[in-house]
Structure 1
Amino acid sequence: MPAMTTAESRGYQQICGRDGAMMVIAADQRGGMRKIMAAQPSEEAAITEAMLGETKADIATHLASAAGCILLDPVCAVPGIVDGKVLARDTALLIGLDASGFDVTAEGYQLSRLVPGVDARRVRALGGTGGKIMVYLRADRPEANTANVEILRRCIEDFAREDLLLVVEFLTYRLPDESREDYQAAFPGLIEEGTRICVELGSKVLKLPYPGSAEACARVTALCGDIPWAVLSAGVDHETFLGQVETAMANGASGVIAGRALWKDCISLDRDVTRLRLTSVAVPRLRQIQEIVARHRGAATRAA
């Protein structure tokens, strides 16, 4: 397993809190954010990239400043949030390389997309502390992953050449002919084997779906070895996510990269409402997550 370079380690330190655990606000969504903000399909279509950029600016100002790092996209958010000095000087910035949505093959395999023209050098030029790449993996179907693994391999190599931190994320998915019950039964194994693929490709920091149980989290941690992994929220409700964070941290996770579980019921087309709810609802939720993370980090430090 490749160790982080000095520059990567410094970038990793900056996306972590004072306790050394990752605490990142994910706000790189575009399509999903439009659906949350719009009451009707006609409203969704009317939400421009500029409007999304304003919402992301509010998330950066009123929520991410309390976390220490934000994950943003290079389509709606940056460079505007950086150039406009919206982002606090001590808030780290991860920039997502993945485009919104995906393509689907005849077999139902999901093919990842990248934002054109955004590579490690561009991430640095946009003021990023590091980058984030997300690919879709169906670990039990090698033929489903060929194109996505190649995307991941190229990105990892590109960021290594530039000596810039890269957070690697993967999501898995249900196949068209697969029942919900069969998929749920397969899910922990898909996360574990997807993790193995990412580790073998040279990932140095991982952002992973909650694997499903304490035992599955422990197996993921064993697969990662010294590679830190953060649990993502996947849009579950806040109380559910608190339980997932508790279990993940107790079984070796190194922090949290959370988005919709924090802000999905806080953002709207009315920016005054958004700002109020980010402050009064999302920040208290964040504090609850931080308390869980800090408690487990403290316990791990004492045990060491």
Structure 2
Amino acid sequence: MAAMTTAERRGYQQICDETGSMMVIACDQRGGMRAVLASDPQEQAKISNEVLGDTKADIALYLASEAGCVLVDPICAVPHLIDRDILPRDTALLIGIDASGYDTTPEGYRISKMVEGINARRVRELGGTGGKIMIYLRMDHEAANTENLQTLKNVIEDFASEDLLLVVEFLTYRLENESKEEYEAKIPMLIQEGTRACLASGAKVLKLPYPGSEASCAEVTRIAGDVPWAVLSAGVDHETFLGQVEAAMKNGACGVIAGRSLWKDCISLDRNVSREKLSTVAVSRLRDLQAIIRRYRQQSVAA
């Protein structure tokens, strides 16, 4: 497994909280955030990048400043988060390089897309502490992964050439004609094998979907070895995510990269509403996550 360089490790330290655990607020979504702000597709299409940028600015102001790091996109959020003095001086910045949405092959496989013109050098120019890439994987279908894993390897090499931190995320997905029950039964295997594939490509920090159970979390930790991994929220409700974080931290996770579970019912096209809910409801949820992380980190140090 590839070890972090000194520069990468410094970047990793900056995306962690005072306990040394990853505590990142994710708001790099574009299509997903539009869907939260408006239920009608026509209304979603009317939501401009500027409106999304303002929403992300509010999330950064109220949540990222309390967490220590924010993950945003290079389309709506930067550089104005920095140029308008919204991002606190001591808040780390991860910049997502994956594009919104995906292409689909005739077989129904998802092909990940990257934002045009955004590479490691550009992430550095935008003031990023590091970057984040997301790819789709279905590890039980080799042909589904060839192009996405090649994209991942290319991006990892690019960030290595700049000696810049890169967080690697993968998502799995249900195939057409696959029942919900069939898919859910495969999730532990899909997450474990996806972890192996990302590590084989050179990933040094991982952002993973909940592996499905405590036992699967422990297996992911075993597979990852010295490579730290954070669990993502995938838009589940707050109470569900708290249980997932508890299970993940208990079994070796190194923190969370949380988005929609914190803010999905707190943002609005009315910024006054957003600010009120973000500063109360969302911050309270963040405190719940931080309490779990702090408890398991203290237990780890004590051990």
Q: Normalised by the shorter chain, which TM-score bucket?
A: over 0.9
Give the secondary-structure state (helix, strand or coil) at the position aligned to 2:168.
strand
CA distance in 2, matches of 1:90, 1:274: 23
Normalised to the residue count of structure 2, the TM-score between the two structures is 0.99
Instruction: Tell me the alpha carbon deviations over residues 87-138 of structure 1, each in whole angstroms, 9 at most, x when there is no partner.
Output: 0000000000000000000000000000001000000000000000000000
Corresponding residue number in structure 2 for 1:156? 156
Give the secondary-structure state (helix, strand or coil) at the position aligned to 1:151.
helix
CA distance in 1, matches of 2:190, 2:274: 36
The alignment status of 1:238 with 2:234, answered yes or no, reads no
The alignment status of 1:95 with 2:95, answered yes or no, reads yes
Kindly, what percent of the aligned residue pairs are identical? 66
Alpha-carbon shift at residue 63 of structure 1 (Å): 1.0
After TM superposition, the structure 1 stretch with the greater mean CA deviation from structure 2, 66-75 or 37-46, is 37-46
Corresponding residue number in structure 2 for 1:111? 111
CA distance in 2, matches of 1:211, 1:280: 30
Alpha-carbon shift at residue 83 of structure 1 (Å): 1.1
Instruction: Tell me the alpha carbon deviations over residues 120-166 of structure 1, each in whole angstroms, 9 at most, x when there is no partner.
Output: 00000000000000000001111111110010000111111100000
Which runs of structure 1 show a deviation greater than 6 angstroms over 4 or more consecutive aligned residues? none
Give the secondary-structure state (helix, strand or coil) at the position aligned to 2:134.
strand
Give the secondary-structure state (helix, strand or coil) at the position aligned to 1:112.
strand
Alpha-carbon shift at residue 177 of structure 1 (Å): 1.9
Alpha-carbon shift at residue 40 of structure 1 (Å): 2.9
Corresponding residue number in structure 1 for 2:10? 10
Normalised to the residue count of structure 1, the TM-score between the two structures is 0.99
Q: Map of 1:189-268 to 2, 5 A cutoff?
A: 189-268=189-268
Q: Map of 1:53-202 to 2, 5 A cutoff?
A: 53-202=53-202
Give the secondary-structure state (helix, strand or coil) at the position aligned to 1:234.
coil
Give the secondary-structure state (helix, strand or coil) at the position aligned to 1:123.
helix
Count of matched residue positions in the alignment of Structure 1 and Structure 2 = 303
Corresponding residue number in structure 1 for 2:30? 30
Give the secondary-structure state (helix, strand or coil) at the position aligned to 2:99.
coil
Give the secondary-structure state (helix, strand or coil) at the position aligned to 1:173.
coil
CA distance in 2, matches of 1:40, 1:6: 47
Structure 1 alignment gaps of length 5 or more: none
CA distance in 1, matches of 2:290, 2:124: 28
C-alpha RMSD over aligned residues: 0.6
CA distance in 1, matches of 2:232, 2:189: 17
CA distance in 1, matches of 2:140, 2:40: 38
